[in-house]
């Protein structure tokens, strides 16, 4: 069972770990919050290279703090959950933890999906990032998890009621999780189609005019296009040929977007398509 704070004041990691302050300025410097110590240089980079009691103690301390962060994902306070998500994200970014995660993958993924489904805005962004990192950590060992995770990321990405920033992160997460944790080409094709459904809204309209979207919307389109390109790089030749024929004449439309991020993604995607086409010819 998750640990509960005895005083009922939300998630607070162990000694020396303070909660993230609630102001916007403080939130922008979230690296100062409690879980910075989960991933602090003291806790990880100073671990001795040789096996010994110091290394064992440091690893145990690291894992104990990470366990606290995982437990914190169930707190009632949204800010406490965000604090915990920050800690999990930092931990998964800092150190390879396959053995630790193998024993907790179902619990952690369940908590993260709960944050994704029930949370709002930044909490959903952090949850999607953590889900991506979980799959990166575990690779094909997480294929069963991806089967569970994928529908929720897909739903959130396509949900107009979800914050655009969160939808963008779900698009990235969907592609990354698929890339590292899925061996089923039918699933890859389904995800490619879903991502395509997002970014093609920036193609020219029927009257040949270039659509004008708010910056957060074009960021979503750029994220979807980047994820699409990632999966295209591992697609089988028959699918590459099909997608070349479908998109190559439309992708240059995105080079006329007012958004520089989308233009860059479009240029990189066009370059990738030509590279894949050349490989097919060879």
pLDDT tens column, 161-191: 999 999 999 999 999 999 999 989 999 999 9
**Confidence category of residue 73, pLDDT binned at 50, 70, 90:** very high
Q: How far apart are CA 133 and CA 82, in angstroms?
A: 16
Mean pLDDT of 41-45: 38
Mean pLDDT of 60-73: 94
List the one residue out of 13, 5, 4 whose CA is nearest residue 69: 13
Burial 82-102 (b: 16+ CB within 10 A, else e): bbbbbbbbbbbebbebeebbe
**Confidence category of residue 279, pLDDT binned at 50, 70, 90:** confident
Question: Residue 155 has what pLDDT?
Answer: 96
Q: Where are the domains of the chain?
A: 1-13+33-42+56-183, 204-282
Mean pLDDT of 136-141: 94
Mean pLDDT of 64-75: 96
**Confidence category of residue 27, pLDDT binned at 50, 70, 90:** very low
The contacts found for 248-254 with CB under 8 angstroms, 24 or more apart, are 248/273, 250/200, 250/203, 250/204, 253/202, 253/203, 253/204, 253/210, 254/199, 254/202, 254/203, 254/221, 254/225
Question: Residue 70 has what pLDDT?
Answer: 97
Question: Residue 277 has what pLDDT?
Answer: 85
Counting residues of the chain whose pLDDT is more than 90, the rounded percentage is 68
Question: Residue 53 has what pLDDT?
Answer: 55
Residue 251: partners with Cβ closer than 8 Å, 6 or more residues away: 266, 269, 270, 273
Neighbouring C-alpha atoms within 13 Å toward the C-beta of 156: 31
Q: Is the model more confident about 266 or about 280?
A: 266
Question: What is the residue-averaged pLDDT of the chain?
Answer: 84
Question: Residue 282 has what pLDDT?
Answer: 66
pLDDT higher than threshold 80 for residue 265: yes
Token pair recorded at residue 119: 């949370």
The 10s digit of each residue's pLDDT in 114-134 is: 999 999 999 999 999 999 999
pLDDT higher than threshold 90 for residue 37: no
Token pair recorded at residue 12: 């607070």
Counting residues of the chain whose pLDDT is more than 70, the rounded percentage is 81
- The DSSP call for residue 105 is H
Angle of helix 260-281 versus helix 237-247 axis, rounded to 10: 130
Mean pLDDT of 93-104: 94
């Amino acid at each position: 069972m998750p640990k509960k704070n005895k005083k009922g004041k939300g998630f607070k990691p162990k000694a020396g770990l303070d909660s993230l302050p609630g102001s916007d300025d403080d939130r922008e410097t979230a690296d100062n919050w409690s879980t910075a110590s989960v991933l602090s240089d003291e806790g990880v980079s100073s671990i001795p290279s040789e096996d010994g009691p110091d290394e064992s103690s440091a690893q145990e301390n690291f894992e104990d703090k990470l366990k606290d962060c995982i437990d914190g994902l169930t707190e009632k306070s949204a800010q406490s959950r965000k604090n915990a998500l920050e800690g999990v994200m930092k931990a998964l970014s800092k150190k390879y933890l396959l053995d630790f995660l193998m024993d907790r993958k179902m619990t952690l993924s369940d908590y993260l999906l709960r944050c994704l489904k029930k949370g709002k805005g930044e909490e959903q962004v952090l949850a999607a990032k953590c889900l991506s990192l979980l799959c990166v950590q575990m690779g094909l060992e997480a294929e069963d998890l991806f089967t569970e995770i994928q529908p929720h990321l897909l739903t959130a990405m396509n949900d107009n009621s979800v914050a655009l920033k969160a939808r963008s992160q779900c698009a990235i997460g969907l592609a990354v999780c698929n890339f590292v944790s899925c061996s089923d080409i039918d699933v890859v094709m389904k995800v490619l189609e879903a991502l395509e459904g997002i970014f093609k809204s920036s193609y020219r309209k029927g009257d040949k005019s270039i659509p004008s979207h708010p910056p957060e919307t074009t960021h979503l389109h750029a994220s979807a296009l980047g994820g699409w390109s990632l999966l295209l790089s591992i697609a089988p030749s028959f699918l590459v040929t099909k997608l070349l024929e479908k998109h190559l004449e439309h992708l240059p439309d995105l080079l006329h977007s007012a958004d520089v991020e989308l233009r860059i993604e479009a240029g990189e995607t066009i370059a990738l398509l030509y590279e894949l086409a050349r490989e097919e010819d060879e």
